Amino acid sequence: MAETLQKMAEETPKSDEGRRFEEFFQEVMRHELAELAEQYPQQRSLSIDFQKLVLFDHKLADGLLERPDHFLKVAEEALEGLQFPTAVGSLKAHVRFRNLDEDRVIMVQNLGAQHLDKFIAVEGIISLATEIKPVIKRAHFECLHCGLKSYTFPEKNILKTPDYCRCGRKDFKHLDKEDEFVNMQNAQMQDLVEKLKGNSPTSHISLWVEDDLVNQVAPGEKFLVTGILRKRPVTKDRKQTSVYEKLLEIWHLERSEKEFEELEVTAEEEAELVALSKRTDLFETIVKSIAPSIYGYPEMKLAIALQMFGGNTDKILPDGKRVRGEIHALLIGDPGTAKTATLQYASRLAPKCIYVSGKGTSGVGLTASAEKDEFGEGWVLKAGALVLASGGQVAVDELDKMTEDDRSAMHEALESGTISIAKAGIVTRFNARTSVLAAANPKLGRFNPAEPPANQFEIPPTLLSRFDLVFPIKDVLDEVQDSKVAEHILKGHRASLGSDQEKMDISPEISIEKLRKYIAYARRNFSPVLTLEASAKIKEYYLRLRKMGMKQNYYPVTARQIEGLIRLAEASAKARFSKHVMMIDADRAITLTEYVLRTVFMDRETGRIDSDIINIGQPKSKIDRARTVLEIIEDKERDVDMVSVEEVVKEAESLGIEEKKAREILDQLHKQAEIFRPKSGFVRTSRKRRD
Ligand code: ADP
Ligand code: MG
């Protein structure tokens, strides 16, 4: 048994506990120790399954949980006391226990006084990480009176001078050249998004990571850690307050790959979900179960449902290109059309979702950042909502209220599922495979009914084109509709007072919990494959749109829409628990896309569907008109220094552009800096022609 390990001659009497740990190492951990001995000192941690200690001696295990400082020290000393026949001698290694019982895994939001100085586990997502820094492991001091040297161990970031010297005095000089250092890294962890139901506020816990554990955590990654909860004094106006900060001293960390907990489905539940998937009115039922208190909008609700199921994750094409599986949707509508209500409902329903409002959300809060840390020396990497919810969803309200910079930070995340940071020598990339459900108001806050909605989006076209589906929601005066909405809202309020039958109409047919489970189950178990028929159908639809455009010298649909169609069709197949994307799925995707194209892209002036609106920013006809006006000015400029606005307008009219339009175009051109106004009533192009 102890052929390879021999006890070192005992000089000091060992405690029972120390002896038990020795026995534990020799009897249970022999293989691991032999490996460690071989790799030492490059490897200086012994990772131990806590359950093995429980089996070996549950009293020892209990002691470790309750008094970790004492027991971990004893364990490390016991380890050091073991001798190896190989050259290394004794092992000064960390003992790192993992795999505590479920009830020792505490949520960040519940960490409190009762856990102080206890051995616990926490599972969460890293929201912030600093660079590594040297920290004093042992600080050395010299007595100013008798010259005796002594040392102290700093308690986390607080350096302690010795209390008294042996000579009885207490004046010391810090011998900083003799201090021993170890690497340290700070990080922050928060609860997993999927575990926080609804919109409960997120709590954070600071992590203290030391020695060989540094540089293993990065923002956006999930970890299961074990450690000891410490308190750190807070000072205010140089006085210590009675409130302390929490700090988790990490003893072991491992990546956690566990999926949403909704996936813990019992056999009985599974049968129920499968039965639901077989219903012929499946989609109607799902749509009815999404935000039932909100009247109407069946297409929008279908889109939200499909978005939650999502396309197949991460297709990597043979040439290495990644095609995203996330479906992004945008609601643009008049105020008071239940956009916010819809987003909030969606964030309660989705298995993993963060709701943010554009007002007051910084780009950092949404994406990610590298910032100087509080001491202004190192860097801190911070993960925002899109990173923290990776694999899930973010609901972004008031998208139009965000600053330009913040919105532009979303571009990369939406298309490639990553967020890159390149700043002052820091180059890093976060995963952000997050689907986005956003809401915005149109330009001027409200739709002008006389204009096509597409002209009234105030979202930059580059961002707009990344949304697979864009829903304009107009608040139109319609007595029949209005009375239905009113009746529906009133019913909801009556039902909330606990009355009768009316509750039935408002409560979802599939409960939120069940639907969430259904979605999580579908996402996890199905990656439907496109059948030839469905591919053909999508291709045919795409070609039809293209051809319709070709005939009119148009390119109404771009290739982006094909990918969008495939994603929607895949989501539809997943929702049916199907292994194959069939014709019906293609049909569902096409019907929804067609609905969106008709409502959004319809250019009222020509009656054509024109996705150039989305991809370039305005209808082709408008581009043509702007070019015409510009050409008129350029033409006249050849003879004069500046051109009279009245003349331009008159000439434009003769070419079929009405006066009002022509003046609008001039304003537009002026805004775009294509032309300028040397004096009131006159214009000139910015680029002087040379011919
Ligand atoms: P928005 O964000 O679009 O400005 P809100 O979501 O804040 O609008 O909606 C305002 C209120 O009107 C909410 O309480 C919402 O429930 C209600 N409401 C608006 N439209 C409907 C509808 N179609 N059905 C039920 N309630 C509605
Ligand atoms: Mg709103």
Taking the domains of the chain in order of start, what are their residue ranges? 2-99, 104-255, 267-525, 620-685
E-only strand ranges, 211-301? 222-236, 239-255
Distances (CA, A) of 515 to 297, 352, 437, 518: 19, 13, 18, 5
Which numbered atom of ligand 1 lies nearest the CA of 344?
6
**Looking at residue 8, what is its pLDDT?**
42
Residue 121, beta-bridge partner list: 105, 226
> What is the C-alpha end-to-end distance of the chain, expressed in Å?
97
What is the pLDDT, as a whole number, of residue 384? 85
Ligand 1 centroid–CA 342 distance in Å is 8
Q: How far is residue 186's CA from residue 181's CA, in Å, rounded to a whole number?
A: 16
Residue whose Cα lies nearest atom 17 of ligand 1: it is 338
φ and ψ at residue 390, rounded to 5 degrees? -55, 135
**Ligand 1 pocket, residues with Cβ under 6 angstroms:** 294-296, 333, 335-341, 485, 488-489
Say if CB 47 and CB 252 are below 8 A apart: yes
- 620-685 CATH: 1.10.10.10
Q: How far is the CA of 314 from the centre of ligand 2 (A)?
A: 32
Position in ligand 1 atom list of the atom nearest CA 331: 3
Taking the chain (691 residues) in runs of 10, the rounded mean pLDDT of each run is 41 72 88 84 88 91 92 89 70 88 91 92 90 81 81 70 78 79 88 71 85 87 91 76 86 78 78 92 92 88 94 78 88 90 89 80 70 72 86 89 76 85 77 91 78 72 82 76 77 66 66 89 91 91 72 54 91 94 92 83 60 54 76 80 88 80 88 85 72 41
Q: What is the pLDDT of residue 270?
A: 92
pLDDT at 11: 44
Ligand nearest to the CA of 397: 2
Q: What is the pLDDT of residue 201?
A: 63
Q: What are the CA-CA distances from residue 88 to residues 4, 31, 94, 440 (Å)?
A: 13, 16, 16, 66
Among 288, 290, 293, 294, name the best residue to mutate to test ligand 1's pocket (greatest count of ligand atoms within 8 A of Cβ).
294
The whole-model pTM stands at: 0.74
Q: Minimal CA–CA distance to 219: which of 267, 194, 187?
A: 187
Q: Are 330 and 465 in contact (CB under 8 A)?
A: no
Give 14's DSSP letter.
Answer: P
| Class of the CATH domain delimited by 267-525 | alpha beta
Answer CATH for 104-255 from 3.40.50.300, 3.20.20.80, 1.10.150.530, 2.40.50.140:
2.40.50.140
Atom 13, ligand 1: residue with shortest CA distance? 338
Atom of ligand 1 nearest to the CA of 333: 3
What count of other Cβ atoms lies within 10 Å of the Cβ of residue 75? Answer: 26
DSSP assignment of 446-461 equals S--TTS-GGGG--S-H
- The protein residue with its alpha carbon nearest to ligand 1, atom 26, reads 294
Using CA atoms, how far apart are residues 129 and 369, in angstroms rounded to an integer? 11
Beta bridge partners of residue 96, listed in sequence order: 47
For the 2-99 domain, the top CATH level (class) is alpha beta
Atom index in ligand 1 nearest the CA of residue 439 equals 2
Ligand found nearest the CA of 398: 2
Rounded to whole angstroms, the Cα distance separating 445 from 617 reads 19
Q: What phi, psi does 295 have (nearest 5°)?
A: -80, 140
Distance separating alpha carbons of residues 42 and 530, to the nearest angstrom: 50
Cα 300 to averaged position of ligand 1 atoms, centre (Å): 14
- Whether the CB-CB separation of 680 and 670 falls below 8 Å is answered with no
Q: Is the preceding omega at residue 449 within 30 degrees of 0, hence cis?
A: no
Strand, helix or coil for residue 247:
strand
Are both 267-525 and 620-685 of the same fold? no
Alpha-carbon torsion, ordered 335, 337, 340, 342, to 10 deg: -170
- Kindly report the number of other CB atoms within 10 A of residue 328's CB atom: 26
Q: What is the DSSP string of 553-580?
A: T-----THHHHHHHHHHHHHHHHTT-SE
382-399 exposure pattern, b = at least 16 Cβ within 10 A, e = fewer: bbbbbbbbbbbbbbbbbb
Which residue has the least CA distance to atom 5 on ligand 1? 338
| Best mutation site among 332, 334, 337 for ligand 1 pocket (most ligand atoms within 8 Å of CB) | 337
DSSP bridge pairs for 250 = 227
CA-to-CA dists, residue 259 to 193, 351, 520, 523, angstroms: 12, 10, 9, 11
Distance CA 621, CA 452 (A): 13
Q: How far apart are CA 168 and CA 100, in angstroms?
A: 45
Cβ burial 622-659 (10 Å sphere, 16+ → b, else e)? beebbebbbebbbebbeeeebbebeebbebbeeeebee
